[in-house]
């Protein structure tokens, strides 16, 4: 979870300074690291991003432990990051802001699910 929190904090600090694709990437990696932390708490690990999301969705989303909409947001962030990194199709500033806000919600939801979050 520490890496997820650090990525999220970095993304929030650089939001007004960087290209939207950089912001989407940082927000996505915050979500990915949070998902990996949740999986590790169950003794589950995946080698790839896709494997991480498949396991996360099977263990947490399908069971109702984790919000389906937040999981969908992570999936959309993954696609936006890949378009920006590999297809030279950067996200808009508005899309980047949406993913940054969503990453905060995602990391917070994982923290609560793991019993690490603030209940306020």
- φ, ψ for residue 115 (rounded to 5)? 75, 20
Count of Cβ atoms closer than 10 Å to residue 62 Cβ: 12
Mean pLDDT for the chain? 91
In this predicted structure, the answer to whether residue 118 has a pLDDT above a threshold of 70 is: no
In this predicted structure, the answer to whether residue 119 has a pLDDT above a threshold of 60 is: no
**65 burial class (0-12, 13-18, 19+ CB within 10 angstroms)?**
exposed
In this predicted structure, the answer to whether residue 117 has a pLDDT above a threshold of 80 is: no
pTM, rounded to two decimals? 0.87
What confidence score (pLDDT) does residue 37 get?
Answer: 96
> Residue ranges per domain, the chain?
2-113
What confidence score (pLDDT) does residue 27 get?
Answer: 93
Q: Does domain 2-113 have CATH number 1.20.120.330?
A: yes
pLDDT, one tens digit per residue, over 32-90 is 999 999 999 999 999 999 999 999 999 999 999 999 999 999 999 999 999 988 888 88
Number of H helices, E strands in the chain: 5, 0
Whether the Cβ atoms of residue 22 and residue 55 lie closer than 8 Å to each other: no
């Amino acid at each position: 979870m520490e890496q997820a929190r650090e990525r999220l904090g970095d993304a929030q600090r650089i939001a007004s300074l960087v290209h939207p694709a950089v912001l989407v990437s940082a927000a996505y990696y915050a979500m990915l690291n949070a998902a990996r932390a949740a999986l590790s708490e169950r003794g589950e690990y995946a080698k790839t991003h896709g494997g991480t999301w498949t396991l996360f969705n099977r263990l947490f989303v399908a069971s109702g432990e984790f919000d389906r909409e937040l999981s969908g947001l992570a999936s959309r962030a993954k696609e936006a990051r890949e378009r920006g990194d590999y297809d030279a199709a950067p996200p808009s500033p508005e899309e980047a802001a949406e993913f940054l806000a969503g990453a905060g919600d995602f990391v917070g939801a994982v923290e609560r699910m793991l019993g690490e979050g603030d209940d306020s």
